[in-house]
Structure 1
Amino acid sequence: MELIFATHNQHKLEEVKQMLPQNLQFKSLTEINFHDEIEETGTTFIENATIKSQTIFQKTGVNVFADDSGLVIEGLNGAPGVYSARYAGTGKSEDNIAKVLEELKGNENRKAYFIAVFCLILDGKEYFFEGRVNGTISEEILGADGFGYDPIFIPEGHTKSFAQMTAEEKNSMSHRGRAVEQLNEFLTKIA
């Protein structure tokens, strides 16, 4: 089965490749020479994942999956949410953590969750898979591994941030790991 993962994000690509079986082959947008920016105009994670999948499916006719994911912080009324990647502004991903920590100063409610929603388009039909992990936001950067908000997110029941964990530890409990597990189970059933 030919399959495209609708992402240019190298970190996401590597993470998903580690989680899916090696016999499940897929190509990234870079590998199919698709370099256009897909505008994420949705107001929900499902809408944004669908926009990405539909765009690539319409242009290529090839089975495709895409995800949208983000960090939802209770003490910030759900922010950064669908704007997680561009919370501090477009192209300012390194400032996102600083903005979150600044906005949470003095706020005792640091409950948060990461969510990932995958939209798979297979033979023109849409399927959705969702993963979520609850946790809290630390008061400072903890660890240097991972990407995005990993250095400030401590999953429930743990004392280390995602950035302090090995890739295997993180993937076993992460939002993306949980969604990819469902995607893999589905693809295995239909294979």
Structure 2
Amino acid sequence: MTTFVLATHNAHKVQELRRILGDRLGPHDLIGYVGPAPIEDGDSFEANALIKARAAHAHTGLPALADDSGIAVAALGGAPGIDSAHYSGSRDDGANLRHLLAELGGVNDRSAHFVCAAALVDAEGEYVVRGEWPGTVLTAPAGHGGFGYDPVFRPDGESRSAAELTPAEKDADSHRARAFVALTEELRRRYG
């Protein structure tokens, strides 16, 4: 059995990834990371995911899994993108959400997609994949589930916001699910 460290200090991500990866990890274990947070100064989701995974692997010596994710809005040229977590100048989800809605005030094209880059760093090397979840930014929040921009994001083909989906529904199709399901193929190759 291998123990993997999940390189995040975000409790919401830990819960979500434990649900997504649970059965897919088989007999392996997933623990949270309690080491120092690295400076995420990469220029892409993939670069930032690797920065976090490298730091957790170096600190613990364990195979490390990390993600970097956010929302990319077409009318804003892909913003907030890698700056999603502090788009308003703070790390407050509500402030970030309100700032995004203000930026889109009179904009008709509200197409967007959530992005997640999932990374693995271990003694064998580095591996990173991307998952995307297309949809639309709503004009007002709807729902109380999820976190981040979930209340204003309606996935394509869905009549509800991501915050109105059950955890199981979100875990089946989200950007994070898409990235980490793809990553599990590499985990199986390396760890069985």
* TM-score (structure 2 length as normaliser): 0.93
Deviation at 1:62, TM superposition (A): 1.6
Judged with a 3 Å threshold, the aligned counterparts in structure 2 of structure 1 residues 129 and 69 are, in CA distance, closer, same or farther, namely: same
8 Å CA contact 2:46–2:129 kept in 1: the answer is no
1:1-191 equivalences under 5 Å are 1-20=2-21, 21=23, 23-30=27-34, 34=35, 36-190=36-190, 191=192
- Secondary structure of the equivalent of 2:131? strand
Q: Matched residues in 1 for 2:124 and 2:90: separation?
A: 32
Q: Matched residues in 1 for 2:93 and 2:161: separation?
A: 18
Q: Matched residues in 1 for 2:104 and 2:75: separation?
A: 7
- Secondary structure of the equivalent of 1:26? strand
Q: Matched residues in 1 for 2:52 and 2:138: separation?
A: 32
What are structure 2's unaligned runs of at least 5 residues? none
8 Å CA contact 2:90–2:96 kept in 1: the answer is no
Q: Which amino acid aligns with 2:148?
A: G
The number of residue pairs the alignment matches comes to: 187
Q: Which amino acid aligns with 2:37?
A: E
Q: Matched residues in 1 for 2:60 and 2:177: separation?
A: 27
Q: Matched residues in 2 for 1:51 and 1:65: separation?
A: 11
Q: Which amino acid aligns with 1:26?
A: L
Deviation at 1:52, TM superposition (A): 0.7
CA RMSD of aligned residues (A): 1.3
User: Deviation digits for residues 35-63 of structure 1, max 9, x if unmatched?
Assistant: x2321111100110111111122222221
Q: Which amino acid aligns with 2:15?
A: E
User: Deviation digits for residues 113-168 of structure 1, max 9, x if unmatched?
Assistant: 00100110121400112111110000000101100000000001111110001011
Deviation at 1:93, TM superposition (A): 2.7
Q: Matched residues in 2 for 1:179 and 1:78: separation?
A: 19
Deviation at 1:175, TM superposition (A): 0.2
Q: Matched residues in 2 for 1:112 and 1:91: separation?
A: 21
What are structure 1's unaligned runs of at least 5 residues? none
Judged with a 3 Å threshold, the aligned counterparts in structure 2 of structure 1 residues 189 and 37 are, in CA distance, closer, same or farther, namely: closer
Percent pairwise identity = 36
